[in-house]
Amino acid sequence: MTRWPPACAAFLARTGAAVPIVQAPMAGAGGVALAVAAMRAGAVGSLPAALLSPDQLRAQVADVRGAMDGPLNLNFFCHRLPDPPPDETAWRALLAPFFAAEGVAPGDPAPLRRPFDAAMCALVEDLRPTMVSFHFGLPDEALLARVRAARVPVLASATTVAEARWLAEKGCDTIILQGAEAGGHAGWFLGEQHDPTPLADLLRDRPAGVPAIAAGGIVDGADMAAALRAGASAVQIGTAYLATPQSLIAPPFRALLGTPAAADAAFTNLLSGREARGIRNRLMRTLGDRRDEAPAFPYASNALAPLRAKAEREGRADYSSLWAGTGAPRTVAQDAETFTRAIAHEALARLENRDG
């Protein structure tokens, strides 16, 4: 008989999952097909809600439930939109040479990433997913109380030990420890500056008594086994799922995964206005990884939309958000269900000392 460590067994009992894996939400890259494929292999599937309306999210949940009855996580952002919106004059001036070179002009603003609000909270109360996860802290106390009253477990990301302790004090059911190795937007929310902390340090110094999910740099069974040996209840995997056919990334991004070029990555605020880890594109190589001219999250992406669309039509990722973690060069293109089964099998074998 095979057995996961006790912390993992508790996670499986709480969620109904068969393997201690959460498929990372990844707004813009994840969706129904990816969630269903991960769930078919026994993982917790996730849907990212930051770019969706309540009606769109409801429809996606219905699509998932029509295909699979397994554990489902709904993910929301908890940022605060600037009021009034930021002045983009300096940002657009900085981008003017790129617009001239590409022969395009700034267009209508792209859809903004929206924070968790009363409408989304009502949807959670109605649908009652297996869990909800929050990025950039927690929602307002009144909304959080409604989620708890609906008996939906609350997860949230921490990028530092201080954030993990804060979430534990707020009664978070499970903390997602987002190491510096993780791709995409860093979920930091305490302090004036982003302070990336390695996953191993977060696992070592995490607050006692609260289950932890390890995220960052996990793309194979050895990575997963190491995180579980360090006390994680489960792992959250994102970058490895990008290489699957079920992800929604553009072809030029997909072509970089699994290659040495994917190692040229950094945290940047150019693509959205907030620090996120991604493979360097033309914009980052030309302007640097960080610029003060970039307006606050999520407004920096507005002016970039026509540049990104033009380049992607031509097979270029010059202005695209190539969010990826440190494991990006080691990813392998394969079906998401196949990958999920394989990484869980290898991790369990290693934990049982059958394979090193």
Q: What is the pLDDT of residues 261-296, one digit of tens each?
A: 999 999 999 999 999 999 999 999 999 999 999 999
pLDDT at residue 82, as a whole number:
87
Sign of CA dihedral 207, 210, 216, 221: positive
The reported pTM is 0.96
Rg (CA), the chain: 20
* Helix boundaries (H) for the chain: 6-15, 32-40, 54-67, 89-102, 118-127, 141-149, 161-169, 199-205, 221-229, 239-242, 251-256, 282-287, 300-313, 336-351
- Largest Cα span, the chain: 64
pLDDT score recorded for residue 142 = 98
Instruction: Transcribe 47-99 into DSSP letters.
Output: EE-TT--HHHHHHHHHHHHHH--S-EEEEEE-----SSPPP-HHHHHHHHHHH
Parts of the chain with a pLDDT under 50: 1, 355
**Interval 29-73: pLDDT, tens:** 999 999 999 999 999 999 999 999 999 999 999 999 999 999 999
Which domains does the chain show, CATH number per domain? 6-351 (3.20.20.70)
Q: Is 282 exposed, middle or buried (0-12, 13-18, 19+ CB in 10 A)?
A: middle
pLDDT in the model for residue 353: 80
